Structure formats: structure tokens, C-alpha cells
């Protein structure tokens, strides 16, 4: 049973305290994690911000610098942490992470095994999904990476939910004391097929495994290994298309035709089925438009899922 404290730490429905981690938000692509320390200041292009002014304010608040600039102080949720963490390895991002959490069928109380830990990007979301009574056991054979991940889980308040082990999972498999305890196993390893037999031993009957691989050759090799003990083998590639939503001024002719490269704006205001595109009725007034982002992320990898066969 986990100490009740871990539930409290996961809740951001409270005010900022000395020692808390906050995400200082300038804009969606300019954020950084800062540990609040009463005597410290944050300096950026908007001025100097005293941490002491932040203490006692709610997460999500807007705070001002000595010269009137401002930033937002956001809670270190897994969604934001993934965007600000220090990259020690390639990491999983939100599109793949959300898919993994859903298809591994994670709910509070689940036990999840993961390897490798890498930068802990996925582990952070796994931990929140199984909190407050579940547990994530994550393994990496790289000692410094494992230690850095442990420090990060301390900072983000997840250390009661995640145990980081140093182990060569491809060579040795998962530890024998975890046999049969896992609801789900996640592999992000260069040769996942070497770890699949051990992952199968760790899973409860009907448990789900997911393996992330950047190349289709790895998927084929993993799938061959999966067929002996697993069923319902499926591979997905999650391709995310991001849209930029901007307010623009248009003249009447443009508003009739739409703008090149964008979707033609819809003349209706806030129609529920067309919520991303709309315009105000008066020509010349600002129009809100959505267009595909030029920085859209393409291929990240393949997610192969499989369910352990139940032996009657």
C-alpha cells in the first residue's frame, strides 16, 4: 500500500509552496521547469521574477516581473514535463504516450513494467495513470540514466509510484520476483524480441504488452517472437497533425474565398461540429483560422501491442 502522501503530491489543486516544481510558461514552445526557492529569482527577457512572490499563489496563476512582464506558473503535469525534461535519450511524445496508456488499459492500481527508462518521459504518464495504488517498475542498464530518472521522479513527486532498477533486460530478462505481477509491460529497446519471453512471464493472464520500435524490421522480428505466447498482435503508427490557430484580419474578398494554404473559413459562429474554424460575421473584423502547422511531427515509431494468451 502506498503512503497517502503520493495522492496529495499528484494533486495540483493547491497553492504553490517553497520547494515545489513549477513550469514557467512564456508560450507553448517556451517553457522551463523551475524549483521554487524563496530566496531565488528567475531572470528572462521579461524581467526579474522573485520566487517569494509566487509562494501561496495557485498553480496556473500569472505573475509579473519587476518591469511588468509576465509568465504563467503551471503545474508539472506529465503532458508539460514531457516537453521540458532534459533529453538524455530519444523520448516518447504525447501522441504515442496517449495511445500507449489507452491501449495498455491502464487504470489506478495497475502494475506496469517498463524498459528502458530512458529520460522517463513515458514513465511519468504511466505513473499518473496507475496512481495512487498501482506501481511502475522501470529498468535501464545505463546507471547514470537510471539515477537521473530517479532524481526526476523525486522532483515531479512520483517517486512513491515508480521504482527504477539498473538491469540488462535484453540479456537477463525482468527480475524473477516480478513473475506474474504485471498488468502491462512496455518495451522501448533496440532488440525487443530478446526481452519478449521474459515479459510474457511477468504478465498476468490476459495482460498486455507494447513494444515501440522505430523500424518495421524490428516490428517483424518482435511479432515473430510474440506469436508463440501472445494473441491479438497489432501494430500502429500514430501520425499527429497539429494545427495553428491564429486570429487574422481579412478584407471582404479574402473572406469570401478563404486564404491560400488554409481551410476556407466558415461563416457560422461557433458551430459545434466545426469548432476549429469560424469567423465573425462583419467583414474586416478579426477571423480565427486554423491551418496545418509547418512543424508537424512525422514518423516516430511503430507501436506493437499483443495480449498474453490465457492457458486454460
The smaller minimum CB distance to ligand SAM, of residues 172 and 257, is found at 172
- Could you tell me the smallest distance in angstroms from the CB atom of residue 118 to ligand SAM? 2
C-alpha span between 171 and 194 (Å, rounded): 7
- In whole angstroms, what is the distance from residue 124 CA to residue 158 CA? 8
Nearer to ligand SAM, 59 or 141 (CB): 141
128 part of the interface to ligand SAM, by CB under 6 A: no
137 vs 78, 117, 175, 255, CA distance in Å? 17, 9, 10, 55
Contact indicator for 34, 24 with CB cutoff of 8 Å: yes
How near is the Cβ of 292 to ligand SAM at its closest, in Å? Answer: 26
For residue 20, state whether it binds ligand SAM (rule: CB under 6 A): no
- Of residues 16, 36, 65, 115, which one binds ligand SAM by CB under 6 A? 115
Q: Could you say which of 44, 89, 98, 220 contacts ligand SAM (CB under 6 A)?
A: 89
Q: Which stretch binds ligand SAM (CB under 6 A): 68-76, 99-107, 138-146, 230-238?
A: 138-146
Q: Do β-strands 162-166 and 182-187 pair in parallel, antiparallel, or remain unpaired?
A: unpaired
Nearest to 196, CA basis, from 187, 184, 205: 187
C-beta of 192 vs 265, nearer to ligand SAM: 192
Among 49, 54, 139, 305, binds ligand SAM (CB under 6 A): 139
Only segment of 69-77, 98-106, 141-149, 151-159 that touches ligand SAM (CB under 6 A): 141-149
175-214: contacts with ligand SAM (CB under 6 A)? 188-190
Backbone angles phi, psi at 15, to 5 degrees: -90, 160
- Identify whether 305 is preceded by a cis peptide bond (ω within 30 of 0): no
Task: Mention every residue, 6+ apart, whose C-beta is less than 8 A from residue 29.
Answer: none
Binding residues (CB under 6 A) for ligand SAM: these are 89-92, 115-116, 118-122, 139-142, 145, 168-171, 188-190
Amino acid at each position: 500500500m502506498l503512503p497517502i502522501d503520493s495522492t496529495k503530491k499528484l494533486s495540483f489543486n493547491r497553492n504553490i509552496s517553497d520547494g515545489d516544481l513549477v513550469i514557467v510558461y512564456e508560450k507553448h514552445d517556451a517553457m522551463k521547469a523551475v524549483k521554487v526557492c524563496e530566496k531565488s529569482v528567475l531572470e528572462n527577457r521579461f524581467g526579474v521574477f522573485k520566487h517569494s512572490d509566487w509562494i501561496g499563489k495557485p498553480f496556473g496563476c500569472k505573475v509579473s516581473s519587476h518591469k511588468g512582464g509576465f509568465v504563467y506558473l503551471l503545474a508539472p503535469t506529465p503532458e508539460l514535463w514531457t516537453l521540458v525534461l532534459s533529453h538524455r535519450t530519444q523520448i516518447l511524445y504525447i501522441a504515442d504516450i496517449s495511445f500507449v496508456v489507452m491501449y495498455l488499459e491502464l487504470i489506478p492500481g495497475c502494475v506496469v513494467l517498463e524498459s528502458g527508462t530512458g529520460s522517463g518521459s513515458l514513465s511519468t504518464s504511466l505513473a499518473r495513470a496507475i496512481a495512487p495504488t498501482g506501481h511502475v517498475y522501470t529498468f535501464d542498464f545505463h546507471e547514470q540514466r537510471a539515477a537521473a530518472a530517479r532524481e526526476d521522479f523525486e522532483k515531479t513527486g512520483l517517486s512513491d509510484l515508480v521504482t527504477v532498477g539498473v538491469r540488462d533486460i535484453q540479456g537477463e530478462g525482468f527480475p524473477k520476483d516480478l513473475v506474474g505481477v504485471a498488468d502491462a509491460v512496455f518495451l522501448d529497446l533496440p532488440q525487443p524480441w530478446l526481452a519478449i519471453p521474459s515479459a510474457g512471464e511477468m504478465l498476468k493472464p490476459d495482460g498486455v504488452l507494447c513494444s515501440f520500435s522505430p523500424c518495421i524490421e524490428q516490428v517483424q522480428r518482435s511479432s515473430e517472437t510474440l506469436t508463440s505466447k501472445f494473441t491479438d498482435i497489432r501494430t500502429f503508427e500514430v501520425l499527429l497533425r497539429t494545427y495553428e490557430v491564429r486570429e487574422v484580419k481579412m478584407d471582404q474578398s479574402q473572406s469570401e474565398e478563404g486564404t491560400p494554404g488554409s481551410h476556407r473559413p466558415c461563416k457560422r459562429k461557433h458551430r459545434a461540429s466545426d469548432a476549429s474554424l469560424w469567423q465573425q460575421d462583419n467583414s474586416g473584423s478579426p477571423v480565427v483560422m486554423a491551418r496545418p502547422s509547418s512543424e508537424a511531427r512525422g514518423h516516430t515509431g511503430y507501436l506493437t501491442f499483443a495480449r498474453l494468451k490465457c492457458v486454460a
